[in-house]
Amino acid sequence: MNAQQTTQAPSSTWPWIVMAIAGLVTFVASMTVGPDAVQGQLSRILYVHVPSAWLAYLAFFVTMFASAMYLWKKDLAWDRRAVSSAEIGVVFTGLALGLGMIWAKPTWGVWWTWDARLTLTAIMFFVYLGYLALRRTTTDLHLRARRSAILGVLAVIQVPLVHFSVVWWRTLHQPPSILKPEPIDMDAAIFVTLVIAVVAFTVMYAAMMYKRIELARLEDELLLAEQTADSPVAGSAVTAPLIEGGGA
């Protein structure tokens, strides 16, 4: 698809509608379920905190897969999928951290503690910010894709480190409630609400990916167009002097 075809093709609006519906479903589900017996109303924060953390895991695994596919196929479409997922993953990692802090203050009494889960999540957030920064170091599309693909494959090791940190070390953060080998022992209504929120956020991620990949494709086309455009020769803008209103 060339640049002219892209500018003529209308940008689809359905992903925005899907995102809004997914956000609304999560909000309604998490506000209508009863409060937790111990945490009270504060437990409602977990219906957006847990899906955000889940999407960070998912997004960085998708980045790893797309990066590996780029290294194998050398197709820039895989690079665009990798960067799109990484950027969305950074947003959801930031959300998981921020929402966790808002939950921690009234529950633990502090906004932040150097707990293994929190610290490793913060490191993961900054490593993937570095991934996005790395892509700005060159305008060569394949060099950029290769560099970031290597980081995209290596950086995913942080995801199991973050997830199992609460099992491997003594942490203030509670152990996994769903992604664990033992049977799930939470109340059915809370579990169903959490599943609805996770599914809705995953649908939101898919819609975001659709639009973000469209943006990545446009940015690549723009970069190519700028690189292949005829550069003006130095001095070509200078014209011969003419007297205003005068003849030649």
Partner 1 sequence: MEAAEQWNWVLLAYGFCYAVLVVFAVSIAVRISRARDRLGDQT
Give the binding site for partner 1 (CB under 8 A).
3-4, 6-7, 11, 16, 19, 23, 27, 35, 40-42, 44-45, 48-49, 52, 88, 91, 94-95, 98-99, 102-103, 105-106, 204, 208, 211-212, 214-215, 218-219, 221-222, 225-226, 229
CB of 6 to partner 1, least distance (A): 6
Residue nearer to partner 1 on the CB measure, 132 or 157: 132
**Minimal distance, residue 9 CB to partner 1, in Å:** 9
Of 153 and 216, nearer to partner 1 (C-beta) is 216
Comparing CB distances to partner 1, the nearer of 19 and 159 is 19
Determine the longest span between alpha carbons in the chain, in angstroms: 93
Residue 123: alpha-carbon gap to chain centroid? 15
Nearer to partner 1, 71 or 221 (CB): 221
Smallest gap from residue 78 Cβ to partner 1 (A):
20
Nearest by Cα to 155 from 73, 220, 209, 90: 90
Rounded Cα distance, 191 and 42, in Å:
16
Find the shortest distance in angstroms from Cβ 107 to partner 1.
9
**What are the angstrom distances between the C-alpha of 145 and each of 20, 53, 66, 101?**
32, 26, 11, 34
71: nearest Cα among 151, 156, 160: 151
- Pick 154 or 222: Cβ nearer partner 1: 222
CB nearer to partner 1: give 23 or 176.
23
Q: Which is nearer to partner 1, 71 or 129 (CB)?
A: 129
Q: How far is the CB of 211 from partner 1 (least distance, A)?
A: 5
Q: Which two tokens stand for residue 237?
A: 């803008």
CB of 41 to partner 1, least distance (A): 4
We find the least distance from the C-beta atom of residue 45 to partner 1, in angstroms, to be: 4
